[in-house]
Every structure is written in C-alpha cells, then in structure tokens.
Structure 1
Amino acid sequence: MHTWDKWGLFIDNWFMSLTMIFGSFVAGISSEGGGAIAYPVMTLMFKITPDVARNFSLAIQSIGMTAASLWIFAKRIPVERTYLLLSGLGGLLGVIAGTIWIAPIVPPAYAKMMFVSFWLSFGIALFVINHIRKRDTRSSLPVLSGYQKTELVLVGLLGGVLSAVFGNGIDICTFSFVTMKYSLSEKIATPTSVVLMTTNAIVGTLMHGFVVADMQVEAINYWLVCIPFVILGAPLGANVLGKINRISIAVMLYLIIIAQFVAALFIIQPSGMLMIVSMLTFLTGIAIFFFLTSSHEKLRREIIVDE
C-alpha cells in the first residue's frame, strides 16, 4: 500500500473493510466462507455486480481462509482427512470447469436467489436433525466403499462449480453432505470445510487472475483494503471454533443462512419466473437434504449391525 500509494483506497472503500471484519470471523468459525458474507452484502446491499463480488470473494478468501487453515493446523484442530482429500479433488476440478464454462452464463438475479434459497433448505434440514430428531454424531467417517468415495468426489465437484459461480460453495456443500449423510460432527466438519474452501479460493483466484484474466480493478481495490482485517479475523474465528460446542456452531449457521435469505427477498423482491425458480430450488434442496438424513439413518443401522 505504501509503495503504490494506495492508502486513499480506504477512504472510498471503507465499507468493504467493515464488511470483512465480520465476514472473516464468520469464515474462520463456520462452514460458510467469508464469501458467503461478502457475496450477498456486495450484490444485495451495495449493488456491486455479481462478477466483481465473485472475484473479490475468491481473492479475499485466498488470504483469509489460508490464514484460518494455517491456524487450524498449527493448533491441531481435528479435520476429517478422507472428506478433505476426496472432496478436495472434486472441488479442484469443479472450480476450474465452472470458471471456464458455467459462471459466464448464469444470470445475476437467478444466481443470487438460487444461492440463498438452496442454503435456506439446508438450514431447515440441519435444524430438524439437531433439535427435533436429536441425532448422534461421530468424529470421523466410517470406512467408505468405492461408491461412497465417488459420491464425495462428485459432491466436491458440485461445490467447486458453486464456488466458481458465487465465490464460495464447496465448504457449505460438502459440509451439508457429510453432516447429513454420515452425521459427522460440526466440530470436525467445519474446520475441514474451511481448509477445502482455502484450496478452492486459491485456485479460483489464480484462474481469474491469470487464465481467464478477468480480475477487475474494482475487485482488486476491495481486496487490498480488506487483507489486513481478514488475515487476523479468520484465524480469530478458527480459534473460537476450537472452544465452542457443535450446537453453538450450528445455531450461528442458522442465523447466517436466514439473514442471507431475508436480505435477498427485501432487496431483489423476486416475482414471476424468478420466484418460481427460487421456490423450486428451495423444494429441491429440502428433498435432497432430507433424503441424505434418511440415508444416514439407514447407514447408521448398518454400521451398528456390523459392529
């Protein structure tokens, strides 16, 4: 900032610094990366175009999520390695393919509403299994068959595509899968998802910076004024993550998801076809997530019988 005489950027872009003080903390403490705060705030509140918001989200997470991941490893916060490796492989393929072929063709308003509608359905499903069904959790995945390993790779692939379109997605996408189907504890799934989003963010940033070469000056300016805050905020969130229980993590996730959806409704005010698409996305999410919870119950009974 000193060498390029960029200190004046803080005067014009202070609102992004303020946004990411909160966003980076959320990135470190939850399965919703900083982009989950940045993308809706930028596109809904500040009317920044989705492509700029996406590129900024990836770029800032390449800093903040990396800092959080280093903290997670330094403090030996547990991660699930099978989940990390298999979903990470799919995620890398997804973010590369999504950046080149899918992100350029998604209409902005549809992207915003589909994003918040799908994760609202996940929040409802997670609430049901935590507070109504009162599920048991486990600290690691069971021994997986070849088919189940392929599932994890494909879920990672989908999450990578979501990251390419929205600036984040592989974290919450894979988190939802392993917590729903295998009842992996939020305390294990959350730090694992943070590390996954780190790899997606770094690859996505490099893709936009050097391959498709569409990293906007506006996105770079936002990035510069946020780096000092996320490099501290994300590890702080990761530190708190290691000290709170899984239900507290889940409750915070519910609140973030609901806030995103309500803000989108008030600002976009969807109607007609957009409302129909949003409802279909929500209902599809409900069907997927409750199918996963049913699959988990069947899998749990099989494991008990085997043991």
Structure 2
Amino acid sequence: MASPVPSQQKRQPKQRLWIWFAALALFYSVWLYLVINQGYWQQTTENWPMAVAMLFGSYAAGSTPMGGGSVGFPILVLLFEQSASLGRDFSFAIQSVGMTSASIFILASRQPLAWAMLKGAMLGALVGTPLGIWFIAPFVPELWIKMIFAVIWASFGLLHLYRLQEITAHSGMTEISERWDFRLGLWLGLSAGATVAATTGVGIDMVIYCALVLLCRADMKIAIPTSVLIMAFTSVLGVGVKLLGTGLTPGVFEKWLAAAPVVALGAPLGAYVVAKIGRKPTLLVVAALCVLQYFWTVYATREQLGLGGVLLSVAAVAACLLALEKLRQLGARLVGYKTAKEEAGSEE
C-alpha cells in the first residue's frame, strides 16, 4: 500500500483569520451601501425566501463539495418555478460571495489543499468556462439544463450513499507527480468548466472532488477545501463573463441581494463546523437530498420528458455511476502502481 502523504503537518501553520474578517467587513460595507444608499431595501426584503433557502445552501457549500447553487438551483427552478437560466446565473452570483468567503477562510486558516490539481483546474476553467458560456450554454434547452443538473447530482448522491464509509476512511493523498496532478486538473477544469459549470452554474467542484477522492484517494480534509476554491474561482469568472457579455438573467440581482449576507457567513461556518463534528452526517443528508431532487425534477417535468425521456434519464444516472466506479478502480490501480514503484526503488 502506498504510504499516504500526511494531510496535516505536525506543526500547524499560523492562521491569519484577520484577512477573512477584513474581507467580510468590506463585503458588508458594499452590501449596506447598495441596500441603503442605492435604495434596494424593498427588493431585498421581497426576496427573503431566497435568504432562508440559502441558510442551508451556504452551510452545505462550506461543508461539502457542493456549491451553494446546488441548493439555490432546485429551489428556484423546482419550488419557485423560475427558469433554469435564472437558476444557473443565480448559482454563479451567489457562489461568488459564499464560496469566495469560504475560500478566504480556508486559505486564512491554512487548511491543506491539493495545490497541483487546483492550479491546473483553475487554468482549465479560465479557458473552458467562458467558451462554454459563449458557445455551449446558449444552445442547451431549458429542459436539458434541469435534467443535466438532476442526473449529475443524483449520481453524486448515490455514490456517497453506498461509498461514504470508504471515502471518509482515506488518509493523505496518492500523488504520482505534481506534473501529473496539474495536467489532470487542467483537463478536468477545461471540460467541466465548458460543460456542467457553464450550463448549470455549478458542478466543477464535484468533478474535482470526485477525481481527488476516487482517483487520488485523497482525504476529505484535502478534497473538500480544494473543491470549494475551484468553485469560487469559476463562479467569479462566470459572473464576470456574463456581465461583460449578455448580462445576468433579470431577477438574479434582487435575489442575490437578499441571500448574499447569509451565504457570506454560512459557507465559512460550514467549513468550520464540520472540522469539529466530522463530515459524515452532513454528507449523508446532502446525498439523500441529491437523490430526492432527481425524483422531484422527473416528476415536475414528466409531461415534457415522456416515458422515453424518463428512461433516458435513468440510463444517464447509471452511466454516471459506472463512470465513477471506473474512476475508483483506476484509483486502486494507481495506488498499486505507486506501491510497486516505491518497492522497486527501495530494493535498488
């Protein structure tokens, strides 16, 4: 068995949480200026249900490999019956606050990260996300956006419901080389940024997370903070691309104003709490909700899908699970490869 890379150093690095508090003070100053000085108080209070919904969404964003949009998207699209485009743009916008706040907290508290893969994924997302927003997302029908979200999140939920014990048992991380990790992150960031993130506003974090826990057998204390940072980067990038292009879908800004002050604290709180109580309880609840939202989506769109569409969505979930299982098997082979390489080196 390959010797794991320690997830934490024996001597804890010095935390710099004042950076996070300073960022929070800056954000709330800007928010108060918009709400009070610019006269957006009424629009903010009218959208209070989004603030309530994002109480849980922001906690999940900081404590699991799911962005806050993973809750915001189905709430808007399924419960409030808004367009999938609005759900996607809201996901980008709200995560640009919540996930960024959580990322600053993670960096300031010096949590361990898979830096090589993260750098590659950020570079890939930098290219893939704008290309996806410009050339792929505009041509994806609303129904497809809903089903892409439902299928991917159902697969993620099912994976954790039957593999959680194994995933949470990982310690350290199987590293082949920094160059290999960087290249893997680059291609994952490019492909996920251009497809799932550009289409739904979320998902690149889950792609990187799955690669880390299934392929690299990474400790969740490494995988989840890394996934938070890539989603924060992609969300800010997505909002910037949208604002410089066609703009955000009407209604996003008002909902963002209501939910932003909640997620700015909720996501870092999630990152802090799970460090104290563990991630299993939260992940089990979130995994179950991921599966539940799939059935909710299928039921809500059953007339549009028809029997053929429903069966196709089931097949898509099965295909995603098969791909994740293959990734897990490849991870086991990589562990064996590294073990053999280390044993050969020790014999020489």
TM-score if structure 2 supplies the norm length? 0.82
Tell me what 2:103 maps to: 69
Q: How does 1:231-250 map to 2 (within 5 A)?
A: 231-248=264-281, 250=283
Q: What amino acid sits opposite 2:322 in the alignment?
A: A
185, 207, 222: which one aligns with 1:152:
185
Q: How does 1:231-270 map to 2 (within 5 A)?
A: 231-248=264-281, 250-269=283-302, 270=305
In the TM superposition, residue 151 of structure 1 has moved relative to its aligned partner by 2.8
Alignment partner of 1:43 is 2:73: no
Tell me what 1:186 maps to: 220
Unpaired runs of 5+ residues, structure 1, are none
Task: Kindly indicate whether the alpha-carbon contact (under 8 Å) linking 1:33 and 1:197 is maintained by their aligned counterparts in 2.
Answer: yes
Pair 303,249 (structure 1): closer, same or farther in 2 beyond 3 Å: farther
Q: How does 1:66-215 map to 2 (within 5 A)?
A: 66-131=100-165, 136-144=169-177, 149-161=182-194, 162-210=196-244, 212-215=245-248
Q: What amino acid sits opposite 1:76 in the alignment?
A: R
Q: How does 1:254-293 map to 2 (within 5 A)?
A: 254-269=287-302, 270-293=305-328
Q: What amino acid sits opposite 2:77 in the alignment?
A: T
Which digits, 9 at most, give the CA deviation of each residue in 1:97-130, with x for residues without a partner? Answer: 1111111111111221222212322333344334
Partner SS, residue 101 of structure 2: helix
Task: Kindly indicate whether the alpha-carbon contact (under 8 Å) linking 2:156 and 2:287 is maintained by their aligned counterparts in 1.
Answer: no
Identity fraction in percent? 29
Pair 19,43 (structure 1): closer, same or farther in 2 beyond 3 Å: same
Task: Kindly indicate whether the alpha-carbon contact (under 8 Å) linking 1:135 and 1:183 is maintained by their aligned counterparts in 2.
Answer: no
- Of residues 80-89 and 137-146 in structure 1, the stretch that sits farther from structure 2 once superposed is 137-146
User: Partners in 1 of 2:45 and 2:97 — Cα distance?
Assistant: 22
Task: Kindly indicate whether the alpha-carbon contact (under 8 Å) linking 1:187 and 1:246 is maintained by their aligned counterparts in 2.
Answer: no
- Of residues 29-38 and 77-86 in structure 1, the stretch that sits farther from structure 2 once superposed is 77-86
68, 83, 93: which one aligns with 1:34:
68
Partner SS, residue 177 of structure 2: coil
In the TM superposition, residue 182 of structure 1 has moved relative to its aligned partner by 1.4
Bigger radius of gyration: 2
- Of residues 288-297 and 75-84 in structure 1, the stretch that sits farther from structure 2 once superposed is 75-84
Alignment partner of 1:2 is 2:36: yes
Tell me what 2:329 maps to: 294
User: Partners in 1 of 2:160 and 2:51 — Cα distance?
Assistant: 31
Partner SS, residue 62 of structure 1: helix
Q: What amino acid sits opposite 1:187 in the alignment?
A: K
Which digits, 9 at most, give the CA deviation of each residue in 1:53-95, with x for residues without a partner? Answer: 1111101111111111111112122221112111221122221
Alignment partner of 1:55 is 2:89: yes
TM-score if structure 1 supplies the norm length? 0.92
Q: What amino acid sits opposite 2:334 in the alignment?
A: L
User: Partners in 2 of 1:220 and 1:197 — Cα distance?
Assistant: 20
User: Partners in 2 of 1:134 and 1:117 — Cα distance?
Assistant: 21
Task: Kindly indicate whether the alpha-carbon contact (under 8 Å) linking 1:120 and 1:261 is maintained by their aligned counterparts in 2.
Answer: yes
Task: Kindly indicate whether the alpha-carbon contact (under 8 Å) linking 2:114 and 2:223 is maintained by their aligned counterparts in 1.
Answer: yes
Task: Kindly indicate whether the alpha-carbon contact (under 8 Å) linking 1:25 and 1:235 is maintained by their aligned counterparts in 2.
Answer: yes
User: Partners in 1 of 2:288 and 2:295 — Cα distance?
Assistant: 11
Q: What amino acid sits opposite 2:177 in the alignment?
A: L
Task: Kindly indicate whether the alpha-carbon contact (under 8 Å) linking 2:130 and 2:238 is maintained by their aligned counterparts in 1.
Answer: yes
Pair 227,244 (structure 1): closer, same or farther in 2 beyond 3 Å: same
Pair 291,274 (structure 1): closer, same or farther in 2 beyond 3 Å: same
In the TM superposition, residue 257 of structure 1 has moved relative to its aligned partner by 1.6
In the TM superposition, residue 250 of structure 1 has moved relative to its aligned partner by 3.7
Unpaired runs of 5+ residues, structure 2, are 1-34, 343-348
Tell me what 1:216 maps to: 249
Q: What amino acid sits opposite 1:39 in the alignment?
A: F
- Of residues 51-60 and 244-253 in structure 1, the stretch that sits farther from structure 2 once superposed is 244-253
What is the aligned length?
305
In the TM superposition, residue 52 of structure 1 has moved relative to its aligned partner by 1.3
Q: What amino acid sits opposite 2:86 in the alignment?
A: V
RMSD between aligned alpha carbons? 2.0
In the TM superposition, residue 262 of structure 1 has moved relative to its aligned partner by 2.8
User: Partners in 2 of 1:139 and 1:252 — Cα distance?
Assistant: 25
257, 262, 270: which one aligns with 1:229:
262
